[in-house]
């Protein structure tokens, strides 16, 4: 079976998307799904490419048991659209940036907003905590934890449907 592949996308790939990646990785491990789902993250800009995640996000995520250890990279139109089944954006600007790269609309079925998967919070987007205080990072982690559960349920359902169609 091919693994389902999820790519989380924010602007610089140093706060929200690496945190979402870390939360989802831990959730996948906890549910023994590492053999079925792969995770990565990217940014719409290359400004932080090669850097570690924001140190504040690393600290706040670690307090919750998440290890944010990815290296920032820019979204690669040539590879990422083809390699990932779900391209999950953090805010409306990221969403529009990714949609604009999909010039022929060949991949629009793969592009989602993280908030589309929220189970409890009713928000329009995952805000960028970069210029905020500690509470901003904590709030983003709360939102990401909520949305991660909904996204995982969606992926599991998609895997079940894929398995059914093979039988």
Q: Please identify which of the residues 40, 54, 80, 128 carries the catalytic annotation.
A: 128
Instruction: Give the pair of three-digit tokens for residue 142.
Output: 């709360």
On the CB side of 50, CA atoms within 13 Å amount to 1
Residue 109: burial class (beta carbons within 10 Å; 0-12, 13-18, 19+): exposed
Residue-wise pLDDT for 55-87, tens only, equals 999 999 999 999 999 999 999 999 999 999 999
* Closest by Cα among 45, 73, 54, 46 to 16: 54
Catalytic-labelled residue, pool 16, 80, 91, 113: 16
Question: Coil, strand or helix: which one is 82?
Answer: helix
pLDDT in tens, 109-121: 999 999 999 999 8
Q: What is the average per-residue pLDDT within 42-51? A: 92
- Distance, in Å, from the CA atom of 116 to the CA atom of 167, rounded to the nearest integer, reads 30
Q: How far apart are CA 43 and CA 45, in angstroms?
A: 5
Write the CB contacts of 62 (distance below 8 Å, at least 6 apart in sequence).
68
Domain over 4-166 is classified CATH 3.40.50.2300:
yes
Query: What are the CA-CA distances from residue 57 to residues 141, 146, 162 (Å)?
Result: 9, 17, 35
DSSP state string for 16-80: HHHHHHHHHHHHHHHTT-TTTEEEEEEESSSTTTTPBPPHHHHHHHHHTT-----B--B--HHHH
Residue 35 falls in the annotated catalytic set:
no
pLDDT at 167: 64
Percent of the chain with pLDDT over 90: 86
10 is catalytic: yes
Catalytic pick from 10, 15, 80, 146?
Answer: 10
**114 burial level (CB within 10 Å; 0-12, 13-18, 19+):** buried
């Amino acid at each position: 079976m091919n693994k389902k592949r999820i790519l989380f996308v924010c602007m610089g790939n140093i706060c929200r998307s690496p945190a979402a990646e870390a939360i989802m990785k831990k959730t996948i491990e906890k549910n023994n799904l590492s053999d079925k789902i792969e995770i990565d993250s990217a940014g719409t800009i290359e400004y932080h490419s090669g850097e570690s995640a924001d140190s504040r996000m690393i600290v706040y995520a670690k307090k919750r048991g998440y290890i944010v250890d990815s290296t920032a990279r820019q979204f690669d139109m040539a590879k990422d659209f083809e390699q990932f089944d779900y391209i999950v954006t953090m805010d409306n600007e990221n969403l529009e940036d990714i949609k604009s790269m999909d010039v022929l609309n060949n991949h629009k079925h793969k592009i989602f907003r993280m908030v589309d998967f929220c189970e409890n919070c009713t928000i329009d987007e995952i805000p960028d905590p970069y210029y905020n205080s500690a509470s901003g990072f904590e709030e983003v982690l709360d939102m990401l934890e909520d949305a991660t559960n909904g996204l995982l349920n969606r992926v599991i359902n998609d895997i079940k449907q894929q398995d059914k169609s093979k039988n």
